[in-house]
Structure 1
Amino acid sequence: MKTLGVLGGMGPAATVAFLARVQALTPARGDEDHIRVIADINPQVPNRHSQPEAAGRTLAEMAVRLGAAGAEVLAMPCNTAHAHAGAIRAAGLPFIDMVAETAKAAAACGARRIGVLATPGGEALYARALAAEGAEIVRLSEADRARFMAVVFGVKAGDTGPAQRAAMRDLAAALVAAGAEGIIGGCTEVPLLLDAADVAAPLTDSAEVLAQACVVACL
């Protein structure tokens, strides 16, 4: 069994939910069957949108510290921050690519036009990852993207209430209306508001995909 190192805190609620998924997906009969996890839940990572260079430096430092603490496999439950995957891999440990794994899982459902609920940075990452799988991204309109970001920042502020959930359902529906045959929850705040039953197309949850990949890699 390998020790999992988690670069977290982007945001804190999404990281805690991800850790719960890892625990729930681990086939364990007792405590000793679970994966050892070393998590750096660091909400002070510089803003991935406005301070990308500083964010990359901080994530690289976190990866090194996790390795020094005993981590053997790294994962990061933040899609946007995967723009800095190279800096994280420089720590010399295997790093599970959340975006690549999620794109692969979404394409495996047979969809070729896949809508992505993500930040602008996350959209760019998913456009490349989906193209590598022979699929095409369906993006939110500019107005809906602004609405999506407002919802995400609302979650980060602790609001997961009915209005927030309704807004996320509407955004997923807009992607389906634009021709999406499947939907990717490409931001780890999305599953805090949206369930598969809320979407009229197959929903691939990036946090769930990453958690399952961590279990496979560590067991």
Structure 2
Amino acid sequence: MRTIGLIGGLSWESTIIYYQIINQRVRERLGGSHSANSLIWSVDYTTVEDLIFADRWDEVGTMLADAGGKLERMGAELLLICSNTFNRVSDEVARGTGVPVLHIADAVGAEVVSRGWRKVGLLGTRFTMEEPFIRDRLAAYGFEVVVPGRERRELVHRVIFEELVRGLLRPSSKEAYVEIVAELAAEGAEGVILGCTEIELLISDKDTVVPVLPSARLHAEAAAGFALGES
């Protein structure tokens, strides 16, 4: 079994999802009490959060590449940045190490293609919804990506940074997110990507009028497949 290296703490609430899903997938595949060979380097979230809001992405790239290098030296054969937003520096991490980096958009894009969808919504931080590093990579798979209007994007962004990364799950925010998913569905979205790993702590398919794709789960399942030699 190959060893997975997780760059986590982005935030630690969603890193838990990765660890849980990877190990569940390995146990389902191998049976018994099997679990994954995995390593986690968890950063101090406030440090990187301050950097991204100061637009100091070069320093973020250096910090996460350093984390990737540590994981590589400990034996990681595949790296994951456990976040949508911080995959903005995935190329920097890849250049700073000698092992592949599994981009979260590739795991999600493959799932959209497998479902045959032609138009999907995307929720995430303002960085994820407005900048090209996720949207363009998804669109390269051949489907249209749409995001909410500006005011709705600001609401989604605010809830992520003021609530979800701090472990706060408010019913009013859940209701607002469900409404936004419905609005995207009304625009023709066949499903909506939860393009922030914390959002899947708040809503799921049980709440929405169209399916939602949990990016952390898909990313983690793809990593488990790599570890097991399935991909």
Alignment TM class, shorter chain as reference: over 0.9
> Which of 86, 110, 120 pairs up with 1:114?
120
TM-score (norm 2): 0.88
Question: After the TM superposition, which segments of 4 or more aligned residues of structure 1 sit over 3 Å from their partners?
Answer: none
Q: Count the aligned residue pairs.
A: 218
TM-score (norm 1): 0.93
Q: In the alignment, does 2:102 pair up with 1:92?
A: no
What residue number does 2:155 align with?
A: 147
Where in structure 2 are the equivalents of 1:179-198 lying within 5 Å? 179-198=188-207
What residue number does 1:38 align with?
A: 39
What residue number does 2:61 align with?
A: 56
Measure how far apart 1:158 and its partner are.
2.0
Structural RMSD (CA): 1.5
Provide the secondary structure at the position in 2 that maps to 1:46: helix
Q: Distance in 2 between matches of 1:34 and 1:189?
A: 24
| Equivalent position amino acid for 1:92 in 2 | G
Give per-residue Cα distances to partners, 1:52-101, cap 9 Å, x unaligned: 11111101100000111111111122011111111111201011111122
Residue ranges of structure 2 left out of the alignment (5+ in a row): none
| Equivalent position amino acid for 1:135 in 2 | F
Q: Distance in 2 between matches of 1:107 and 1:200?
A: 20
Q: In the alignment, does 2:126 pair up with 1:125?
A: no
Provide the secondary structure at the position in 2 that maps to 1:83: helix
Q: Contact 2:108–2:218 (CA<8 Å) still a contact in 1?
A: yes
Measure how far apart 1:3 and its partner are.
0.9
Q: Distance in 2 between matches of 1:18 and 1:172?
A: 24
Measure how far apart 1:11 and its partner are.
0.7
Provide the secondary structure at the position in 1 that maps to 2:67: helix
